[in-house]
Amino acid sequence: MSESRLVGPVRVVGVGLLGASIGLGLRAKGVEVLLADASPTHLAIAADYGAGRPAAPGDEPQLVVVCVPPDVTAEVVASELAAFPNAIVTDVASVKLAIHDDLVARGADVARYVGTHPMAGREVGGPMSGRADLFVGRPWVVAGHPGISYRDAAVVDDLILDLGATLVELTPEQHDRAVALVSHVPQIVSTLMARRLIDAPHASVNLAGQGIRDVTRVAASDPELWVQILGQNAAPVIEILRGYRDDLDRFIDALVDLDAPGARRRIAEELFGGNTGVERLPGKHGVDRRYASLIVMVDDRPGQLARLFNDVGDAGVNLEDLRLEHSPGAQVGLAEIFVLPEVQERLTDELAARGWRIAG
């Protein structure tokens, strides 16, 4: 592990998922982390969890990372700038232009502020969901502005590189348009699909396969957070949603008038367009490259998962992650086990030797 280039302590304000993960990641690099949170309970949990120590009077942070909800981010950044006149202050909120404009309007010292946004998250929140490797290999945007010097902003680059993320430089406007497309509109599209399930018969939802699970996964996200995000990035979101709505109207029209000349060709072209769009996404779909997986069939009886994990433990292998798939009424479930790639083959052999059916 390379040593951190950060010299002074880093103060993390707000110890939810992102704040706790930043603390854990910095602690793993030996950086001193000072934690602050409006909730004494969250603060105590994050400290117990290993994300840093509670901040104390007299602390002199080199860098302050504000990880609070978007609608209070500008206010907290402004007060941190005032409280720590020698520190650089950054934030990790999902929108950048509105926060920068708000700080300028407040007369804050933006020569010591630069906003950032790590493209990492989970549907679950709170300090207990933090993980030191949350940012590894993920893009982390620095939304630079002319008011801060290159030298002063460098400490924020150090933070990002310490946490294993990939630094991406964009203007606040470019950032907000980009996340409208790759995050905010997908959230709305997913939410509206999930809404269609509310009144559906049991028999219908019980046929759900992986497709609709994937399309609706992010619809489980926190509504209060998303109202704030969408409220601060409405203009680019609206523009993209209108294009989506026009495509949808055209699709419906083609389906309604299926026997019109060219209707089926239009539908095929829309579907081909979807293929083309997906191909623009970088990297392989949905696979965490750090882990290899194997799928084990498990009888739906008490004790079977225990037996499986006993056997995995006996093999000396640590589970990195796990997914359990179970269809209502089925006698068998599928346990997808994620392990370090170097032990995958050996574990497969050992489990097969103990009578487990490996499905993939």
Site for a second copy in 244-303 (CB under 8 A): 244-245, 247-249, 251-252, 255-256, 258, 264, 267-268, 270-286, 297, 300-303
> What track of x and - describes contact with a second copy for positions 7 through 26 (by CB under 8 A)?
--------------x--xx-
With CB under 8 A as the contact rule, the residue among 5, 109, 305, 348 that binds a second copy is 305
CB within 8 Å of 5: residues ≥ 6 apart: 158, 161, 162
Q: SS3 of 240, please?
A: helix
Residue keyed to tokens 């037996």: 307
Using CA atoms, how far apart are residues 220 and 190, in angstroms rounded to an integer?
9
DSSP string, 119-176: S---S--SGGG--TTTTTT-EEEEE--TTS-HHHHHHHHHHHHHTTPEEEEE-HHHHH
Q: Tell me how far CA of residue 135 lies from CA of 23, 186, 324, 346, in angstroms.
A: 12, 21, 25, 29
* Residue 85 CB, nearest approach to a second copy (Å): 32
Using CA atoms, how far apart are residues 213 and 288, in angstroms rounded to an integer?
18
Q: SS3 of 281, please?
A: coil
- Main-chain dihedrals φ then ψ at residue 65, nearest 5 degrees: -115, 115
Using CA atoms, how far apart are residues 33 and 55, in angstroms rounded to an integer?
8
With CB under 8 A as the contact rule, the residue among 7, 82, 105, 206 that binds a second copy is 206
With CB under 8 A as the contact rule, the residue among 82, 111, 154, 227 that binds a second copy is 227
Which of the stretches 3-11, 53-61, 81-89, 126-134 binds a second copy when contact is defined by CB under 8 A? 126-134
* Residue 235 CB, nearest approach to a second copy (Å): 9
* Residue 5 CB, nearest approach to a second copy (Å): 16
Residues 80-119 that bind a second copy (CB under 8 A): 119
Asked whether position 334 contacts a second copy by CB under 8 A, the answer is: yes
Which of the stretches 73-81, 97-105, 150-158, 169-177 binds a second copy when contact is defined by CB under 8 A? 169-177
Using CA atoms, how far apart are residues 89 and 296, in angstroms rounded to an integer?
48
Residues 30-59 that bind a second copy (CB under 8 A): 49-50
Asked whether position 306 contacts a second copy by CB under 8 A, the answer is: yes
Kindly calculate the radius of gyration of the chain based on its CA atoms and give it in whole angstroms: 24
* Residue 334 CB, nearest approach to a second copy (Å): 6
Nearest to 92 by CA among 154, 28, 141: 141
* Residue 321 CB, nearest approach to a second copy (Å): 5
* Residue 82 CB, nearest approach to a second copy (Å): 29
Asked whether position 157 contacts a second copy by CB under 8 A, the answer is: no
With CB under 8 A as the contact rule, the residue among 39, 79, 174, 293 that binds a second copy is 174
With CB under 8 A as the contact rule, the residue among 152, 325, 345, 349 that binds a second copy is 325
